[in-house]
Amino acid sequence: MAATIKVSTGFFMSKRSWVFVLFFSFLSIQLSSTALAAPRISISAQTILEGAVRLFIKSRRAGGPAFKYVLERTKGRTRNRLFTQRARSNLNMRLIDLPGMGKVRYELRVLRGGRVLAVRNLYLELQGQSDFDSPSPDIYIPDAPSFQEPTGGTIQLVIPPGMIDCSLATQDETLQRVNWYRQQAGVQPLTIQWQLRTAATVHSIAMAAGNELTHEGWFEEIWELAGFHGSSMGQNIAKISATPSQAVDFLATSQNHLLNMQKASYRYLGVGCINDSRGQTWWTHNFGG
């Protein structure tokens, strides 16, 4: 027989109801406390070239309502907000920032209802000579990405000591060979795009510095650092001491890399080539449409 509760008189009609209601109230309090607990957050950084860093932001939580995450950078008397984001689940973000040389502080805050629940600070001191002395622009990712080919431009990169940038010297031969493979598939030829080339050079520098072949951070380099906002993007990488044509042929032996070269939605190519002090050559081919 089901237990009943008489609310108007303020007492319960059966002992079973007491047990049920007390347990339910206790459970509600526990769930409320868990939901409002501040998430565990962390922020770390990796230098990818002089004056530029890759930031790693992580948040771990048990669930509940959305929290607001704010990341700001302070350098001297200048303070810049890099992003604001709301999230209910775990947060795992990577982004590239160009603070320039000198001391810089990154502050990650977690807020709920205007109240600061947690703060993490990261202090860095970037040393050396660099042309990245102006603040980076705010990171902006539109809901419906589209790309218009700019009339021209450049981003000046500082090549670390012990490395040689061979990107410009190899791009024409690379483009010609990639377009040969595209012709076999019956798709339109690509043209060189300077933003994709910049991002490709940065990626080759990062791989050479870490002595590791990896795609890590490739999207941030294209979208955020170089500012190429396309609707279709991809990347091929290789570590091989060879001519530009031989490097393309080497990549084409892999079916997935060949499909990347021949994708019909791509219109542009950016070539990154770095020779390191160990005699290794790091290749990055960025594709975009």
Q: Is the pLDDT of residue 17 over 50?
A: no
What value does the mean pLDDT take over residues 257-283? 92
Ranking 70-74, 138-142, 229-233, 245-249 by mean pLDDT, the lowest is: 138-142
In one letter, which amino acid is 53? V
3-state per-residue secondary structure call for 9-27: CCEECCHHHHHHHHHHHHH
pLDDT confidence of residue 21 = 41
pLDDT confidence of residue 219 = 83
What value does the mean pLDDT take over residues 186-202? 93
CATH T-level assignment (fold) for domain 2-128: Immunoglobulin-like (2.60.40)
Domain with CATH 2.60.40.10 in the chain: 2-128
Q: What is the CATH number of domain 164-288?
A: 3.40.33.10
Q: Average per-residue pLDDT in the chain?
A: 75
Ranking 58-67, 113-122, 160-169, 210-219 by mean pLDDT, the lowest is: 58-67
Q: Which residue has the higher pLDDT, 61 or 171?
A: 171
What value does the mean pLDDT take over residues 27-54? 61
Domain with CATH 3.40.33.10 in the chain: 164-288
